């Protein structure tokens, strides 16, 4: 409910549940892929890009060489997002159409703003393609390459990693507020 922009990417209706509980309910629900989308919006943008990078890094055997190169660009950018060199690399990588999982993640890195996607929901709603949308598209595109019999276990692992990151971010924000 705190992020109206996510409604464009999800069918699930908002509830009063805390975010982590809602995410786990999505994972257990009829369309568990929506838990991936929710994680993309739940995490602050830079953390979401890192999460997507980590998800796709577990699928490198399923990614082509160009996607592996794009993941390296994203990894470097996450480490130093203010570096003019890394920003230029990400901009160049995101200039091509996002037709592969890592290309979506590079686009998300280029779209990155400051702060949490949840906190910036008004700004996110104005963008034609929020970073969280690109993160979700990249992770889901990678997941689509996983064999059907393994897909739910991989999806679950990705969502649990996203939830852990969200919990860490919440603790970090709580500590910063203290």
The residues facing 44 across adjacent strands are 116
Residue 61's pLDDT is 93
The answer, yes or no, to whether residue 63 has pLDDT greater than 90, is: yes
CB–CB of 71/90 below 8 Å? no
Q: What average pLDDT does this structure show over 4-22?
A: 80
pLDDT tens by residue, 135-147: 999 999 999 999 9
Q: How confident is the model at residue 43 (pLDDT cuts 50, 70, 90)?
A: very high
Q: What average pLDDT does this structure show over 103-109?
A: 94
Q: What average pLDDT does this structure show over 137-162?
A: 97
pLDDT tens by residue, 84-104: 999 999 999 888 888 999 999
């Amino acid at each position: 409910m705190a992020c109206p922009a996510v409604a464009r990417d999800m069918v699930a209706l908002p509830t009063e549940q805390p975010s982590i509980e809602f995410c786990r309910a999505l994972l257990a629900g009829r369309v568990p892929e929506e838990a991936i989308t929710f994680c993309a919006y739940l995490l602050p943008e830079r953390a979401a890009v890192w999460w997507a990078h980590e998800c796709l890094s577990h699928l490198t055997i399923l990614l082509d060489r160009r996607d592996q190169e794009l993941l390296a660009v994203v990894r470097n950018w996450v480490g130093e997002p203010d570096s003019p060199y890394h920003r230029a690399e990400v901009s160049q990588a995101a200039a091509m159409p996002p037709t592969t999982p890592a290309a979506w993640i590079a686009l998300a890195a280029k779209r990155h703003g400051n702060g949490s996607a949840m906190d910036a929901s008004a700004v996110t709603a104005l963008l034609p393609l929020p970073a969280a949308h690109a993160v979700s598209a990249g992770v889901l595109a990678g997941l689509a390459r996983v064999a059907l019999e393994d897909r739910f276990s991989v999806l679950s692992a990705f969502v649990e990693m996203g939830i852990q990151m969200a919990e860490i971010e919440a603790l970090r924000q709580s500590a910063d507020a203290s």
